[in-house]
Structure 1
Amino acid sequence: MKQTVTIALGLALMASQSLAEMPRPAGLAALGEPPIPADNPMSPEKIELGEMLFFDPILSGNYNMPCSACHLPEAGWAIQAPISFGYPGTTHWRNSQTIVNSAYYGKLFWAGSSGSLEHQARSAARGGVAGNGEDDMMESRLAFVPEYRERFADVFGDDWPNIRHAYDAIAAYERTIIQTDTPFDNYMNGDDTALSEAQVRGLEVFAGKGNCISCHNGPMLTDEKYYNTGVPPYSGWEDDEIAQITFRFELYAKGSTEAMYRSTKDDPGLYFRTKETSDKGKFRTPSLRYTAFTYPYMHNGMLESLRDVVEFYNAGGGSNEFAANKSAQIQPLGLTDGEMDDLVAFLESLSGEELIVETPELPEMQPLPASMAAN
């Protein structure tokens, strides 16, 4: 009996060692430091200003929608609901993406419509169903806050707060909201104990039988390309009148044909940017990082859990209005329940500790000095 137990323990140890020593997939990597654009260098003062502006509703149409309204730190720096909040009286029409590690993206938003965090901040602040602000109005508000006037002068040399510099500051702050010490990162950096046995098996499924790595690769686990995976339409469009109005507004505002405006019942995605029929229903591959805290998933939040996502792809994706454009690589995977469990375990290794911050103290608006008001 003793010899049998010893052999069993030895075999278990060998199996554990073989899993830990599995070669790291060539298509994946740990996350390094984020790229910093030459035209918006970082400084502690700029980051501090950006943090204040990120949480301050002063940069919105009705003084009620700061960046943090749709990117709540306690909700994964996003919204834990299928569709994000909208400007009061409206609702949004897509799922809010986390800003954690957004510093590494080359394309922002679900259809890649912004090429930088600076541009993304401006688009969100001005968006008709998001911030709904006007640059000149928000700039004037900033000028009524003495502390902001001082900070803009110190950081940017502005005599009067420049709204473009506000977006620069917000982008600088967002580049500090990163996570590079997940179990996955530690494993890829050589720590064989950073992943559990289930997570190592899940990594093998991810890079092998599941072929998730074909789209989710590189340090950010995304190729930033566009695919139609067959995600079903947002269910709220069936019975939510405000959501229906928002959806019709977006179809109209983004240049749909009249026939398309009258008949389309699903989000055309990349088509809005390219106007190519073949791009209907395609969305940019999202990063898989920090996904433990960013449920629900997909561009419209139609999948509630990581297990739902794995089962969705194991079934070969789904079906939507633009089925003719469904990407060819979305095929049934044939994973067993155990393999799906391991894959979920691996996906959980892509998140570290939850990133929670305290809301900064915000300055109050005050009347302009008489000398400035006269100008």
Structure 2
Amino acid sequence: TGCSTCHEPSQGWAWAEDFSRGYPGTVHWRNSQTIINAAYYPRNFWAGSVSSLEKQARSAARGGVAGNGENDIMEARLALIPEYVRRFRKVFGTEWPLIRDAWRAISAYERTLVQRDTPLDKYLLGDKSALTEQQLRGKALFEGKAGCIQCHNGAMATDFSYYNIGVPPNKRWEEDGLAQITFRFEQYAKGQTEEGYRSAKSDWGFYYRTKNKWDRGKFRTPSLRYTMYTAPYMHNGVFYTLEEVVDFYNRGGMDEEGRTTPFPENKSKLIRPLGLTDEEKEDLLAFLEAFSGEEIIVEPPELPEYAPLFTKQELMEARK
């Protein structure tokens, strides 16, 4: 399965459904994240399980519910495309494409997919007309009453830390048998205990890295950049609009039914009812739009053709 299966340029370089697409016959268990500005992340994936884009590419391509690839098979497929053979030889100096260099090539491309010219960037660089009056009111709320800046700060509007903010389970995921099979598979792959494997019904998040019970339900603070194009939101895609996200925070980390995290004991003390009025919510939403510039769309490339490695004559000679 190719990268664009889950990171579609026309869908925010992500996937516009609650859960990412999986390898045929599987269902993924988390929301697909955009690769726009991923070059600036010190760690990737919702629980920060890899430390570079190269490792992310390898993990996704080989993951059983994502690319489901095997190194030798992927290298063989690259070797069957003469254009790739020529380009890999020119860039990496190898006779045949090596899979490790494929990760380097993918990562090099991803590092070109950045956006640094949003209305907020222009405003901070001195163009005071870049934000509307409504957005300026929203900015004041973001930095003050709403408290968003406590976690969404810095150049990427994220502190790159991990929190349990009260996100409720996704009902569809809990009721989808195939999704639960995927989840059990991932539980074992991430070193879950037998008890946890049999009893857990929810994503334990950062816990899979630390094995600390106080990290259950924690996920990385996502960047707010490019969020206009990357719905749905949260690690499980439970909210389809930014309006729903703002309402969730305004209630103190609960959905409209009063549901919250399956791990309330780990819920961050930063999450509390905000008391925002309808007008204030509109102002805040207007400011959130300032984190996104023009949508980044690229012309799909014309993919090179496959070709046999050897001619019939060469194969006949080899059999003699």
Q: Output the TM-score relative to the length of structure 2.
A: 0.94
Q: Which residue of 2 aligns with 1:266?
A: 202
Q: Which residue of 2 aligns with 1:86?
A: 22
Tell me which amino acid in the other structure corresponds to 1:345: A
Per-residue deviation, 1:183: 0.6
Q: How does 1:279-290 map to 2 (within 5 A)?
A: 279-290=215-226
Q: Which residue of 1 aligns with 2:130?
A: 194
CA distance in 2, matches of 1:296, 1:237: 14
Q: Which residue of 2 aligns with 1:325?
A: 266
- Deviation sequence 1:293-351 (CA, Å, 0-9, x none): 10010000001111111111111113221111111111111211111111100001111
Q: Is the 8 A contact 1:187 1:193 kept in 2?
A: yes
SS of 1:349's equivalent in the other structure is helix
Could you tell me which runs of 5 or more consecutive residues in structure 1 were left unpaired when the two chains were aligned: 1-64
| RMSD of aligned Cα (Å) | 1.4
2:153 maps to 1:217: yes
Q: Which residue of 1 aligns with 2:47?
A: 111
Q: Which residue of 2 aligns with 1:185?
A: 121
* One of 144, 147, 152 as aligned partner of 2:80: 144
2:169 maps to 1:233: yes
* One of 69, 73, 87 as aligned partner of 2:5: 69
Question: How has the CA–CA distance of structure 1 residues 372 and 299 changed in structure 2, closer, same or farther, with 3 Å as cutoff?
Answer: farther
Per-residue deviation, 1:154: 0.7
CA distance in 2, matches of 1:259, 1:340: 43
* One of 290, 305, 311 as aligned partner of 1:349: 290
Tell me which amino acid in the other structure corresponds to 1:360: P
Per-residue deviation, 1:372: 9.4
Q: Output the TM-score relative to the length of structure 1.
A: 0.81
Larger radius of gyration: 1
CA distance in 2, matches of 1:161, 1:238: 42
SS of 1:310's equivalent in the other structure is helix
**Aligned residues, how many?**
310
Q: Which residue of 1 aligns with 2:249?
A: 313
Q: Which residue of 2 aligns with 1:339?
A: 280
Runs (4+) off by over 2 Å: 369-374
Tell me which amino acid in the other structure corresponds to 1:221: A
- Deviation sequence 1:78-132 (CA, Å, 0-9, x none): 0010000000000100000000111111110000011111111111100110000
2:101 maps to 1:160: no
CA distance in 2, matches of 1:287, 1:160: 38
SS of 2:291's equivalent in the other structure is coil
Tell me which amino acid in the other structure corresponds to 1:347: L
SS of 2:153's equivalent in the other structure is coil
Q: Which residue of 1 aligns with 2:31?
A: 95
Q: Is the 8 A contact 2:29 2:173 kept in 1?
A: no
Q: Is the 8 A contact 2:174 2:201 kept in 1?
A: no
Per-residue deviation, 1:252: 2.3
CA distance in 2, matches of 1:102, 1:295: 17
